[in-house]
A and B are shown apart, each in its own frame.
Chain A
Amino acid sequence: MYKILEKQVFSPIIKELVVEAPKVAKSCKSGQFIILRIHEEGERIPLTIADYDREKGTITIVFQEVGKTTTQLGQMEVGDYIKDFVGPLGEPSHIEKFDGTVVVVGGGVGIAPVHPIARDLKEAGNNVIGIIGSRSGDLLFWEDKMRDACSELQVTTDDGSYVRKGFVTDVLKEIIEAKGKENIPLVLAIGPQPMMRAVCNLTKEYGVKTVVSLNATMVDGTGMCGCCRVSIAGATKFVCVDGPEFDGHDVDWFELSRRGGIFRDKEQKAMEHHVCKCGSGCGGAK
């Protein structure tokens, strides 16, 4: 059992939990993820590690409520216990001192997993420009943390309700034009699939290397089932052990998005079942 030590509510659907998980905290690196299961009847869901504190033995996760499990997770409070919490899983981000300016892009809830990678890149001596964006200003979080983690931070919102109006790709395009594509050795983007795809389409035009962190459906997260498989440059890879980070220009986005929708009707059914069972979103504790 893994105790929830802190909780932050960033918006009605985006929440942060700090979980006591010393084994994970001791060995994790940025870019890796965990799998959790809330209770005995629960499913296993992957979440990228957003922060960690090796001394306190804690892992920070930030998630958006999109279905039954994340909704139930969002209803958990400080002092509650998560049944299973396993990690670190996946390969860590590749961190080195690059020649030029590294751009990290976090979209929506993807701001959280981008954060430790930006911090590591900056600590490795890179000039790191961060771009964070969301649909509207009330969904934005961790602006301060990202400002600390990056050398420079740009903020944008789709509807212009905060700082500036526009997509992260608009900002990225300006940066590439201003710096020159040859001075940007790496773009790292994490966020919803359409956003990562848009970033890749843009950087491909310029020939700028782009790494993305894929969010595939997973079961075990240790390479034993292949549920998370994805085509990378024509070869089948398992996101959980070969990734989650891949060269964005090699990803078969079409296939990834179709595979992500396999259980959509079932997910809806689970959500309805959950709501009708407890009436008012009590957390579904059984």
Chain B
Amino acid sequence: MTEAKKPKKEIKPVKNPMPAQDALVRAKNFSEVATGYTQETVIDEAKRCLQCRKEPCRQGCPVEVDIPAFIGLVAEGDFTGAISKIKEKNALPAVCGRVCPQEAQCEKYCTLGKKHDPVGIGRIERFCADWELATGVKVPEVAPPTGKRVAIVGSGPGGLTCAADLAKLGHKVVMFEALHVAGGVLMYGIPEFRLPKAVVQAEVENLRKIGVEIEVNSVVGKFTTVDALMEEQGFDAVYIGTGAGLPYFMNIPGENACGVYSANEFLTRTNLMKAYQFPDCDTPIKLGKKVAVLGGGNVAMDSARTALRLGAEESYIVYRRSHEELPARKEEAEHAEEEGVKFAFLTSPTEIVQNEDGWVTGMKCLKYELGEPDASGRRRPVAIEGSEFLMDIDTVVVAIGQGPNPLVPRTTKGLELTKRGNIVADEKAATSKPGVYAGGDVVTGAATVILAMGAGRTAANSIHEYLSSK
């Protein structure tokens, strides 16, 4: 027998599973689905990391977290060190650890993932963030004041990231938020059962601790404008991160019937206004027994799963392509399916049918088949002639996408826009207007939380450069 020169590290091929509520139990409550790693599991998972020198995982992270470093600290049980390391680059780790599509980012490039499961980077990050929130948050050091003031319009993930970076560099940051709480889609869009609102608010509080001022109930474009912020209120630069909050409708007959919601309304009522606690909370929501959600993205999955929790007996995803083309994260579609959401693929509505009181009673649909690939590379759905049928439903949630809210773009002079109303910004997040930067969904159209955060980071770097040269 030959002896190995070096004792080879034994690799555990499978990721430590994420403890979660049972699917059929959780489908009836709004508590968080995934309950998080324990100290033992997180250390075990961190030890799976090979600490490879090339650190390929880092290239997949839009905010460039030093992944091997923080995982190494976790493996040693140093959670304080680990969270500090994460927060050098990421202001919202409790959020990212939960909602990032890691399979398409950091974990996609993990060396271990070539042969086995990749390291559960998101799960470890989440543990560290939760651990800090539970044991007491250390306020990071802030550079001495520069005397420069930056206004951030919109307090979604991009704005929060941009604000955190600029505040740490010593700039005075004021965020303006239209709703009554900060967080944007993290508060009104992503459901409580995926991202508890207390977690989001805890991270927002961390920003206040480093001096970020947050003005809620402040609709820029109404009470003031971007131009007024710069010309009258003395802000040296502005970041626009107003997102994609304008709901698209199908434009089919019957869409204004009672019982038809945009996903934004459905989710805002439930998440932001806590309609699931009605009547202890005042905002009502009303749905029938059979809910159809139109669309196949994450917002559609969130809506369909929310409908079950609000008491729907049947909740359908109605999508005109097939399972393979679902734009939602695989994990989200799987969770929905486990909880009992049904999928009507290759189906698209042509009309919403209502009774004489104006309430939804059904939906006329066409069956589709997949044809040649279209410009997006996905196979184009083609309606099958004569395939019309009536779907027996009583509530419709339209989740086919969102456009940019026009309030800010329309009231800002000299801001170049695309045909769809998105703000044009270069790779450094600079717009056509000097001193004004933009990023996230208002530039790209509806995308992900972490991409918005990446854009906020880029903009913060550009703004710092701009202010330093001013």
Contact = CB atoms under 8 A, between A and B. Distances in A.
> Does chain A bind chain B?
yes
B51 interface: no
A59 to B, nearest CB: 12
Of the candidates A83, A222, A270, the one having the most CB atoms from chain B within 10 angstroms of its own CB is: A222
A248 interface: no
Given A27-B223, A231-B256, A262-B286, A225 B268 contact: yes
Nearest to A67: B282
Interface stretch (B55-63, B200-208, B244-252): B244-252
Q: Dominant SS at the A interface? A: mixed
Nearest to A265: B286
B249 A41 contact: no
B38 interface: no
Given A37-B180, A267-B284, A270-B278, A44 B273 contact: yes
Contacts of A68: 282
Contacts, number: 119
Contact of B280 (A41, A84, A225): A41
Given A37-B180, A89-B219, A241-B407, A223 B256 contact: no
B281 A262 contact: no
Contacts of A273: 279-280
Interface in B238-275: 245-247, 249, 251, 255-256, 258-259, 261-262, 264-265, 268-269, 273-274
Contact of B284 (A27, A226, A263): A263
B223 A24 contact: yes
A229 B264 CA distance: 13
B268 A258 contact: no
Nearest to A241: B407
B216 interface: yes
Nearest to A90: B222
B397 to A, nearest CB: 12
A20 to B, nearest CB: 13
B217 interface: yes
A145 B178 CA distance: 33
Given A23-B218, A224-B405, A270-B282, A219 B273 contact: yes
Dominant SS at the B interface? loop
Contacts of B327: none
B263 to A, nearest CB: 9
Contacts of A23: 218, 223-224
A88 B217 CA distance: 10
Contact of A259 (B249, B256, B268): B256
A229 B256 contact: yes
Nearest to B221: A222
A24 B217 CA distance: 10
B179 interface: yes
A236 to B, nearest CB: 6
Contacts of B179: 220, 222
A43 interface: yes
B357 interface: yes
B21 interface: no
A227 interface: yes
B407 A87 contact: no
A63 interface: no
A42 interface: yes
A26 interface: yes
B146 interface: no
A184 interface: no
Given A84-B180, A259-B258, A236 B268 contact: no
A168 B281 CA distance: 38
Contact of A220 (B178, B223, B249): B178
A89 B222 contact: yes
A5 interface: no
Given A236-B256, A267-B284, A223 B249 contact: no
Nearest to B217: A86
Most buried by A among B180, B224, B268, B269: B180
28 contacts: A23-B224, A37-B180, A41-B277, A41-B282, A43-B283, A44-B283, A69-B282, A83-B180, A84-B217, A86-B178, A86-B180, A86-B217, A86-B218, A87-B223, A219-B265, A220-B178, A222-B245, A224-B264, A226-B262, A226-B264, A230-B256, A236-B249, A236-B255, A259-B256, A262-B286, A263-B284, A266-B284, A270-B284
Given A41-B282, A223-B246, A270-B279, 8 more contacts: A27-B223, A41-B274, A68-B282, A89-B219, A89-B222, A226-B249, A236-B255, A259-B256
For the complex of A and B, the 5 pairs showing the least CB-CB separation, nearest first, are: A266-B284, A225-B265, A258-B358, A43-B282, A224-B245
Interface of A: 23-24, 26-27, 37, 41-44, 68-69, 83-89, 219-220, 222-227, 229-231, 236, 241, 255, 258-259, 261-263, 265-267, 269-270, 273-274
